[in-house]
Amino acid sequence: MSGSRITFLEGQADQGAALARIADRVRTQLASPELAGLRAAERPLFTGIGASYAALAVPVQQLREAGIVTQRVLSSEIETGTAGFDTDCLIAVSQGGRSSETIAAFECAAPGITKTALLNVVPSPLGDLADLTVDLGNEPDSYASTIGYTGTIVALDLIAGAVAGRDGDPWGEIAEQTTVVHSQATAIVAGLRERGARCIASDGVAAGASRASAEEGALLLREVVRMTAAHSATRNYLHGEMESAGNTLHLVYGDGREIELARSLAGAGHLTLLMTTAEVEPADSLSVVRLPEVADAVRVVLETVVLQELVAQLSAERDVPIESFVFANDDTKQGGLDMSDFEVAAFTQA
């Protein structure tokens, strides 16, 4: 079963209200007696594939800061079992619940591990295998995910908060924050879109929870804009990876070493977009989106809002129809391809 499909641009427009709905829904679920086993997890192991794996950088960072042993692993690395991982709760993320690798991970999980599925679409094959489920409420989503991805970030933050015993959450103003940042991003991206569309590749660089944004940004640029893109942790990027800069678009996220990195790249003439809460003046080759001071998970959502606008404008500038995917792999989803996804993509091209 697939969720309702909307276009990428519709997902952008509806995102703020949808995230507020998702936060309300997930809060209610996590407070229920049925999810007591999830709240009691001591050594959660997170798994997913693609964008879902990228999102997992957020709860892993949060829980480690709270002193809870955790990590994320690609579903394909545990599709033959969880041996070698010390965990009492396997939390698998798949928006549609049909990712074949994630389903295999659940099927081969060691006995005694609580299997928790975070989904958008219910019912689903992954949900059928789960001991516990958290869902976003069958929110309509685009094929190159908008609401589904950012909604997953919201839910993962709330799950991490529940496991860590956090009081309250940071999502009360997400609809308004999303609107403000999207408006700012629209204007700033418009100023770099022509040059950005001529770039041959892109690097995303971040630390901490914002690594989710660097990873998701690289994926979106590849699947929407068809631009070769990579991602890196900030400190690792400084150890040689940045030397290949040349006719490249650099997306830098952060308030620390990232600021000087962005200035260095732009100073050498490389197109750079910095997303930061710090007061940084734009310059030649350096565009800056100033983000509000918010919790890390909210920041990741707002960074993703900027990314979505970036890929939408670059796609238009390069005359690449959004979601006109080239490769249709029929072994990544249980049950094969859902051709209705491609009908929406065809409509977007019209």
Rounded Cα distance between 72 and 315, Å, is 31
Q: What is the predicted pLDDT for the residue at 323?
A: 75
Q: 285-317: per-residue pLDDT in tens?
A: 999 999 999 999 999 999 999 999 999 999 999
Q: pTM for this structure?
A: 0.94
Per-residue model confidence (pLDDT) at position 183: 98
Sheet (strand 89-93) strand order: 71-74, 44-48, 89-93, 114-119, 132-135
Q: What are phi and psi of 43, to 5 degrees?
A: -140, 70
Q: Which domains does the chain have, with CATH numbers?
A: 8-164 (3.40.50.10490), 174-317 (3.40.50.10490)
Would you state the pLDDT for residue 347? 43
pLDDT values of the chain reduced to their tens digit, one per residue, 350 residues: 356 899 999 999 999 999 999 999 999 999 999 999 999 999 999 999 999 999 999 999 999 999 999 999 999 999 999 999 999 999 999 999 999 999 999 999 999 999 999 999 999 999 999 999 999 999 999 999 999 999 999 999 999 999 999 999 999 999 999 999 999 999 999 999 999 999 999 999 999 999 999 999 999 999 999 999 999 999 999 999 999 888 999 999 999 999 999 999 999 999 999 999 999 999 999 999 999 999 999 999 999 999 999 999 999 999 999 877 766 565 666 765 565 555 554 444 43
In angstroms and rounded to an integer, the radius of gyration of the C-alpha atoms of the chain is 19
Least Cα distance to 152 among 46, 40, 277, 240 occurs for 46
> Checking DSSP bridges between strand 71-74 and strand 89-93, what pairing results, if any?
unpaired
Q: What is the pLDDT of residue 350?
A: 37
Looking at the DSSP bridge assignments, the partners of residue 272 are 250, 286
pLDDT of residue 297: 98
If 0-12 CB within 10 Å is exposed, 13-18 middle and 19+ buried, where does residue 173 land? Answer: middle
Kind of pairing between the strands at 228-233 and 248-253: unpaired
